[in-house]
Amino acid sequence: MTIAQALRESAAALAASSDTARLDAELLMAHALGVSRSDLLLRHMDDEPPPGFTGLVERRLAHEPVAYIIGHREFFGLDFRVSPSVLIPRPDSEVLVEAAIAGRPDARAVLDCGTGSGALLLAVLANLPGASGTGIDNSAAALEIARANASALGLGGRARMIRADWNEPGWTDSLAAPFDLILANPPYVETSAELSASVSEYEPSTALFAGREGLDAYRALVPQLPGLLASGGLALVEIGMHQADAVSGIASDAGFTAKLRRDLGDRARVLELTQMQ
Ligand code: GLN
């Protein structure tokens, strides 16, 4: 059996449970071999499959996300370490990073609320060399991952990761407000939503669920943003695809004008909030 054959067979088996079966098989194989995916495809297709590969495919067949199995995930062209303590960065969230970079290219101070792996904050900092940022999260395990990512990306000197919970009074005391840019991909899934097994059984529920309508985090966080934003500042919040009106309403009550941005699949994904004059 060659690696090429093993990839074909496992991709066929994974197709029942994954939309990205071939890619999954290649990423798992590259991980089992300890090489990059491009090295795998260019140099190893005629080799024997490594013994660990079958076990990795079995974990994926049980719906474990590839990113947790191999321990990392690409986002905005950067490699991020991930663990089950953090949400896996989604391509859909890249539009938020694009909006931040385009909207405030001169930003000096950036805040990321619920930073998780640090993906949003670190992708913005990597593209705005004059900016520094703070990522907050209420999970100590997530902050460790975020700090490791900041160092690995050479951004440790410009990114501070601190524990804070926007539901606790005084949570902003340790933040050096004001910020030119505020980013947030808070939990926004309805408690009753039926998610795929790879999400519901493996990803952290505290990063996903936000009450009956999925709006609890916006209700708690958005009214506090005016107190953290510099004058002329921009806040970008990720939203669920059916939440544009509801979250725009919450933002308008907090004194914001909201502009909608869509993701690559043309779904409502990000609101750009600026303060009404
Ligand atoms: N996009 C994620 C999902 O639907 C949800 C992310 C979030 O709640 N912030 O799986």
In the chain, domain spans:
3-62, 85-275
Is the CB of 187 within 6 Å of ligand 1? yes
- What's residue 209's pLDDT? 97
Give this prediction's pTM: 0.95
Q: Look up residue 237 and give its amino acid.
A: V
Q: Look up residue 158 and give its amino acid.
A: R
Q: Which of 19, 238, 241, 270 to mutate for ligand 1's pocket (most ligand atoms within 8 Å of CB)? A: 238
DSSP conformation class of 2 = -
Nearest-atom number in ligand 1 for the CA of 189 is 8
> What is the arithmetic mean of pLDDT over 224-239?
98
Superfamily of domain 85-275: Vaccinia Virus protein VP39 (3.40.50.150)
Is the CB of 189 within 6 Å of ligand 1? yes
Is the CB of 267 within 6 Å of ligand 1? no
Domain 3-62 CATH assignment equals 1.10.8:
yes
Could you read off the pLDDT of 144-184 as tens digits, one per residue?
999 999 999 999 999 999 999 999 999 999 999 999 999 99
First-to-last alpha carbon distance for the chain, in angstroms, is: 68
Q: Give the separation between CA 54 and CA 258, rounded to whole angstroms.
A: 49
Ligand 1 centroid vs 115 CA: distance in angstroms? 13
> What is the arithmetic mean of pLDDT over 201-222?
97
Nearest-atom number in ligand 1 for the CA of 114 is 9
The mean pLDDT value of the chain amounts to: 97
Could you read off the pLDDT of 31-73 as tens digits, one per residue?
999 999 999 999 999 999 999 999 999 999 999 999 999 999 9
pLDDT at 124 over 80: yes
Is the CB of 90 within 6 Å of ligand 1? yes
